[in-house]
């Protein structure tokens, strides 16, 4: 009972930064877990309308965008979730608005949860130096070259960050993200 109360995220708001080409299960799995724990989630994307999810390289479902990156204010959110997907992560890392959003979240010490290819944005935002983290294995050289300590583990917690490698890690990733957000006052 005490553990359940600790993990309640009632009143917490989580931004999900994404754009077309995200790995659908890396958005829906953590989002559903966050919502089940009481959090309110908002898809924040580069453009208004909808974003296109993918199952690996095949188009999947579309999801409604709550706010554009230009409209979203980091002060309005308690945490940020970064789903992976190669196309999604590559587009977001080149977005100045996306970089500024995660930089502001980091400056405020707010939880950042990134899975698979999502750490590319954190690299481009200049935030990974000195961090212990994991990702999809093909990003390990990028992360190391940017100053991170890359490890091949299901979930890595480092301060206000939690990272994971792939869809199979989603249950552990979601649990760690909920614990991280719940622990922040």
- What phi and psi values does residue 138 have, to the nearest 5 degrees? -70, -10
End-to-end CA distance of the chain: give it in Å, rounded.
Answer: 20
Whole-number Å distance between alpha carbons of 135 and 119: 7
- Residue 116's CATH number: 3.40.50.880
**Residue among 55, 56, 97, 116 flagged as catalytic:** 116
**3-state secondary structure (DSSP) of residue 102:** helix
- Report residue 114 CA to chain centroid gap: 4
pLDDT at 7: 58
For helices 170-183 and 24-36, angle between their N-to-C axes, nearest 10 degrees: 40
Query: Is 116 marked active-site?
Result: yes
Strands 13-18 and 40-45: parallel
Query: Is 56 marked active-site?
Result: no
Helix (H) / strand (E) element for 34: namely: helix 24-36
Residue 49: is it exposed, middle or buried by C-beta count within 10 angstroms (0-12/13-18/19+)? exposed
Whole-number Å distance between alpha carbons of 7 and 1: 10
Q: Which domain holds residue 22?
A: 2-183
**Residue among 55, 56, 97, 117 flagged as catalytic:** 117
pLDDT at 3: 45
pLDDT at 1: 37
Q: How many domains does the chain have?
A: 1
Whole-number Å distance between alpha carbons of 22 and 20: 6
> In angstroms, what CA-CA distances link 154 with 123, 130, 160?
20, 19, 17
pLDDT by residue for the chain (185 residues), tens only, comes to: 334 444 589 999 999 999 999 999 999 999 999 999 999 999 999 999 999 999 999 999 999 999 999 999 999 999 999 999 999 999 999 999 999 999 999 999 999 999 999 999 999 999 999 999 999 999 999 999 999 999 999 999 999 999 999 999 999 999 999 999 999 97
What's the alpha-carbon Rg for the chain, to the nearest Å?
15
Tell me what percent of the chain is helix, strand and coil, each rounded to the nearest 5: 40, 25, 35
Around 92, how many Cα atoms within 13 Å sit in the side-chain half-sphere? Answer: 35
């Amino acid at each position: 009972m005490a553990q359940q109360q600790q993990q309640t995220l009632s009143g917490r708001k989580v931004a999900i930064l994404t754009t077309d080409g995200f790995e659908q299960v890396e958005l829906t799995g953590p989002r559903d877990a966050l919502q089940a724990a009481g959090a309110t989630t908002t898809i924040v994307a580069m453009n208004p309308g909808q974003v296109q999810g993918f199952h690996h390289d095949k188009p999947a479902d579309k999801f409604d965008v709550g706010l554009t990156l230009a409209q979203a204010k980091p002060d309005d959110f308690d945490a940020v979730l970064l789903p992976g997907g190669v196309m999604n992560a590559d587009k977001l890392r080149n977005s100045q608005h996306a970089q500024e959003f995660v930089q502001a979240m980091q400056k405020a010490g707010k939880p950042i949860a990134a899975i698979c290819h999502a750490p590319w944005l954190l690299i481009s935002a200049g935030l990974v130096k000195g961090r212990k983290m994991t990702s999809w294995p093909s990003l390990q050289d990028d992360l190391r070259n940017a100053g991170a300590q890359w490890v091949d583990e299901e979930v890595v917690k480092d301060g206000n960050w939690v990272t994971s490698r792939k869809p199979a890690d989603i249950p552990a990733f979601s649990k760690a993200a909920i614990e991280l957000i719940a622990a922040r006052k």
